Structure 1
Amino acid sequence: MNSPISASMGTKEWFMLIILSILWGGSFFFIEIAVSELPTLVIVLTRVSLAAIALWIFVLIARIRVPRTPSIWASFLTMGLLNNVLPFSLIVWGQIHIASGLASILNATTPLFTVLIASTFLRDEKATRNKLAGVVIGFIGTVVMIGPSALDGIGVNVVAQLAVLGAALSYAFAGVYGRRFKVRNINPIVTAAGQVSASALFLIPIILIAGIPADLGRPSIQTVAALIALAVFSTAVAYVLYFKILASAGATNLLLVTFLIPISAILLGTLVLGEMLQGPHIIGMAIIGFGLVVIDGRFLRRPKIYQGS
């Protein structure tokens, strides 16, 4: 049975969600650098392997108890497949064939899938009018912010588009499945370490079968730095936050981060790369913000008026 979670997030959860969006928003920069020199599976395996090493080192230093039950490790394997191997591979491969803007819009369907799946499988995360309306508003805001012109690619490279949608669906199932780790009282750091370790175990035989290209040269310093940042910040640290939010706020609230990731990516581009923040970006961000307010619901409730006797 799933333990109850908070239907609306507190200040702490919202803060962690924003930080998570920044960490995952930065991953698009790191992936763009890496894909110019390395094949998809190599990037994904390096990402999860380095993240696993960093997390297990921390677990050892902090002397956090590691579960030994086979069923828990089987759950790590399932979580690794749903939350890392499938979506990472599909998104990285999809970004090779379609524009990153369209990939971001397609990835923003994750909360839509999550509301439906969570409502089906979790008693304490049933779909409400606020959730459904807020998710649709947030999706519209994502399209406006990234630019409706990104949708011009719809119908071209359909397989790549379906791959990114498949990644969004996989993320949704992972969010719902990951609720079991709270019930088993497993430390979020151990859960994150177990998940990425399981992902690496999945990928090693796949790469051995597929083979590493013979002409794969030594990656540049920029690519190595991008891979380290992708592994440590956008994977290791990010997944610790992921499981902390999942344990306290649930899958539907957690995967609202998908709406915040494009905002983080655009703001990072403005601050780091000197890109211009344009009108559609601001309007889209405002629409997403309104969608999140609708989902949260607290600011839309009518204040209770005290009536004296």
Structure 2
Amino acid sequence: MNAVVFAYHNVGVRCLKTLLARGMQVQLVVTHPDSPSETLWFDRVADVAAEAGIPVAYVDEAVDEALIDRVVAAAPDYLFSFYFRRMLPARLLAAARIAALNMHGSLLPKYRGRVPVNWAVLHGETETGATLHVMQAKPDAGDIVAQQAVPILPDDTAKDVFDKVSVAAEIALWRVLPQLLRGEVPRQPNDLSAGSYFGGRKPEDGRIDWAQPAQTVYNLIRAVAPPYPGAFFDHRGHRFIVARARIASAVLAARIEDKSAIGLHLIDGQLLGRAGDGGAIHILELWDADQPGVALSPRQISELVTQP
């Protein structure tokens, strides 16, 4: 069996390696050029392909007709999409002799659409996973081929969960590949009425509203914690990013004297953000938005809170 693989990011790396380990003949790998405006905290699919001697093509925006012609001429048994960032047109999907399959970072039909791991953390889910499914023109709507669940622990950030989902994708693909290599594609209905769909997120969506309950604020912080852009708030005309935090204990939250004031409080050198429900976030690392990656010192934090 042979395949053309569209892939990017860590899921793309792990799944490409899994295909090769199982003996799938990969004719071509299509990936994205690295963006200079993006923090590249993940591995490169192009490096894996180069080491394996597989030709590589790059797509920045839409897949062009020349590339589609190239894939059609290759007549692959399978077409795989592993965290590729562009929708694949119908003519391209039809080029696969057996099936065109996509790996999605959720337990479909839940969290169809963009950045599913971040949305799952934001909504306080306790479980997510990876799903290999048949590709259709409608995103994340085709039959389910394989799934693997992973837990989301109370203090997991989106990066923690994404790392688990990357392994889940590898496991799901590894388990089903013997069937795929025999030309068999197991299918289960993907009941969209029982699921959910979410779009992409913008950096502005990371703004903290201290009037929200503490758990809601904490879920936002976890969902966009670095290497994602980070949850932020503005204080005295300046922007700050909460890089690390956790829910404050009830004992610590109760030590905030001004029970009417939401936002920043300093308790024995510990920075708290009081939320609308009386709970508090214990801020363990705070960045100046003008110097991301550099934690504010205790002196700077003290000045931030105590100066008028």
1 or 2, which has the higher strand percentage?
A: 2
1 or 2, which has the higher helix percentage?
A: 1
Structure label with greater radius of gyration: 2
**Of the two structures, which has the highest relative contact order with CA contacts closer than 8 Å and spacing of 6 or more?**
1
TM-score range, shorter chain: under 0.3
Q: Normalising by structure 2, what TM-score?
A: 0.25
Q: Normalising by structure 1, what TM-score?
A: 0.25
